[in-house]
Amino acid sequence: MTLTAEAVPAVSEAEGFERILANLSLVQSEISGAVAEINPAQLALLAGELRGAGRVFVAGAGRSGLVLRMAAMRLMHLGLEVHIAGDTTTPAIRSGDVLLLASGSGTTSGVVRAAQTGSKAGARLAVYTANPASPLAELADVVVTIPAAQKTDHGSKLSAQYSGSLFEQALFLASEAVFQTLWDHDETPAEELWLRHANLE
């Protein structure tokens, strides 16, 4: 069934405002709850893997992959050599590299295949997932568990949001905390990091 403008119920300005306010509160509350449940020791281990990496590769699908691309940009700003799996200029992964992956279910086929390839090449694997018993987590050297509903778990009590949104939101905040921690250790002035910012935009 295709919805037309006539088929969508009209919402008054006041009712729309109240819905927006309620949903902002919902999203904020769910994110706060999920982030509070992330084990900081796991994040510290992941940060340590990145700090000791020869090169960092990131692999994720869909919205999780987009969040990892943002994380990759920040790591590049710190001066790390970072590559996105699947890009045409991405070199072969090897021993001494770290492969950073994200999948809420831990079963996303392309992400699991990337993990298998990275593991065979001798790279270290760092994984964000909502499913610590997943095939992806079993391959990992470091696992950060994000307590959020998986995208196909539509009846989950963990989140009222749609299809994995909470995982992706908490993933962003977790990756930002890792960046901030690495920067704390690095102590490079923001002005120097800015010199690495893209200038071909």
User: Residue 131 pLDDT more than 80?
Assistant: yes
Global confidence as pTM: 0.89
Q: Assign domain 13-194 to its CATH superfamily.
A: Glucose-6-phosphate isomerase like protein; domain 1 (3.40.50.10490)
User: Residue 128 pLDDT more than 70?
Assistant: yes
The residue annotated as part of the active site, out of 6, 37, 49, 168, is 168
**Sequence-separated contacts (24+) of 93-96 with Cβ below 8 Å:** 93/55, 93/57, 93/117, 93/118, 93/121, 93/123, 94/121, 94/122, 94/123, 95/121, 95/122, 95/123, 96/53, 96/54, 96/55, 96/122, 96/123
Spell out the domain ranges in the chain: 13-194
In tens, the pLDDT along 4-61 reads 555 656 667 778 889 999 999 999 999 999 999 999 999 999 999 999 999 999 999 9
192 catalytic residue (yes or no) = no
